[in-house]
Amino acid sequence: MPFTLAGALLREFVFGEAMCRMIPYFQAVSVSVSAWTLVAMSVERYYAICHPLKSREWQTFSHAKRMILIVWAGSLIYMLPVAVLSELQPIKESDKYKCRESWPTITAERLFNILLDILLLVVPLLIMVVTYSLITATLWRAMRPEVSFTQGTRTQSAIKSSQSSSRNVLRSILVRSNPNSPCSSSSCVLTTENQTTRETDIMSVQAVTNTDRSLAQKKRVIKMLFVVVLEFFLCWTPIYILNTITLFDPVVVYRGLGYYGISFFHLLAYTSSCCNPITYCFMNSKFRENFMALFGCKNKSWKSRPDGSLSATFKTTVNFRKQDSVVFKQNEPITL
């Protein structure tokens, strides 16, 4: 970005012949690495969510390292023409120089750029759309029985609560109408039945709470996947289209957009590198947790398990009336 900014301000390339070959080359490599890293992550997410048992056999740290190595090696190799053909070219009617690729024919340059459009935009976008669509469909199918279970549990809990209230009212009427009954005092209540009912209600509340939490987590994952694909499409598609049109008719592009319009679309492409970590940070709790752990920060409410997953400790907030039998203490931790 600093080299691109300097060229945009000075309207020339001032870093010399060697840097003219290195800078465009590593810029192109970084674009390729960014796109195919997102692709690799989408494929691994697909197997982790849609085929969890199979994915455990090969999704290891060594596999991740191999994938990173393959992405970087592939990007370094098929971007070599940029390093080989880049050179300083004089600007007409000026003593300034620009850094451009010198292709033997315009047809070769067009074919190479169309190939990059396919490898860095079309194919990655198609793979991410397919994998994330399958992930979304899998999560959506998993959410449907959970929604039905939550609604059914809440309905049963409401019915039981209504029945319990009706029984208590009936007992009060019977006690008042029969003073000679052994349970003649107004405080006589079947404690065992009340306690059993309360235990059932608490278990229903916990089941609904866990299901709601699972549903919320799945919805966050679906939203994050959608945002990642949308960001990739919005940030990179304009600049690829712009570069392809420029190869065939550069006059139309410069007259239609102008220098500042072209710079804006370059800036939009760079924004993608900023959007990805921000998206993962704000929409993925596990990313935030590992990011904090990387810098030695610890959160007492989270603990890492041996398999790399995270366990969270939540606290119940169920309030009981004084006359009810307390089964669980208020604010008692429940570890999941």
Cα 63–Cα 55–Cα 31 angle in degrees, nearest 5: 50
Amino acid at 326: V
Residue 146 pLDDT? 52
The helix/strand/coil state of 322 is coil
Residue ranges in the chain modelled with pLDDT below 50: 149, 184-187, 189-190, 192, 205, 300, 302, 304, 307-336
Residue 298 pLDDT? 61
Residue 184 pLDDT? 47
The helix/strand/coil state of 79 is coil
Residue 9 pLDDT? 82
Phi and psi angles of residue 30, each rounded to the nearest 5 degrees, phi first: -65, -35
Residue 318 pLDDT? 41
Residue 289 pLDDT? 83
pTM value is 0.64
The helix/strand/coil state of 149 is helix
Residue 152 pLDDT? 53
Residue 45 pLDDT? 86
Q: What is the pLDDT of residues 151-179, one digit of tens each?
A: 555 555 555 555 555 555 555 555 555 55
Which distant-in-sequence residues (6+ apart) come within 8 Å of 214 by Cβ?
146
| Domains parsed from the chain with CATH numbers | 1-102 (1.20.1070.10)
